[in-house]
């Protein structure tokens, strides 16, 4: 996908549940709320230069901050889903 993007320079929308994949392939990460009425919860800019290498991602200063923000968001959304299931 990166090779195609480098050649074509088109906007690509990627849906993934992988934090590392999102940080590797994205320039912006849009995190959504849960459920059928999902909304945009947060937008993160990924400032890493291209081309990117998976094995070098964690060397960028913002990598751990972005990864932590994404983990916290996913954890919150998961807890919210679990809590709503228990209430039923």
Question: What does the pLDDT look like over 2-54, one tens digit per residue?
Answer: 777 778 877 888 889 899 999 999 999 999 998 788 999 999 999 999 888 99
Number of domains in the chain: 1
Alpha helices in the chain (DSSP H): 2-8, 19-25, 63-87
CA distance 78 to 53: 29
Domain range for 29 is 2-87
Note whether 41 and 32 are within 8 A (CB).
yes
The pTM of the full predicted model, rounded to 2 decimals, is 0.80
The residue whose two tokens read 């849960």 is 34
Note whether 67 and 47 are within 8 A (CB).
no
Note whether 46 and 14 are within 8 A (CB).
no
């Amino acid at each position: 996908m990166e090779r195609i993007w480098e050649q074509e320079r088109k906007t690509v929308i990627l849906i993934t549940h992988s934090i590392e994949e999102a940080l590797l392939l994205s320039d912006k990460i849009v995190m959504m709320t849960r459920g059928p009425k999902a909304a945009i919860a947060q937008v993160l800019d990924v400032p890493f230069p291209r081309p990117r290498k998976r094995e070098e991602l964690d060397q960028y200063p913002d990598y751990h901050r972005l990864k932590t923000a994404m983990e916290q968001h996913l954890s919150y959304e998961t807890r919210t889903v679990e809590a709503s299931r228990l209430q039923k």
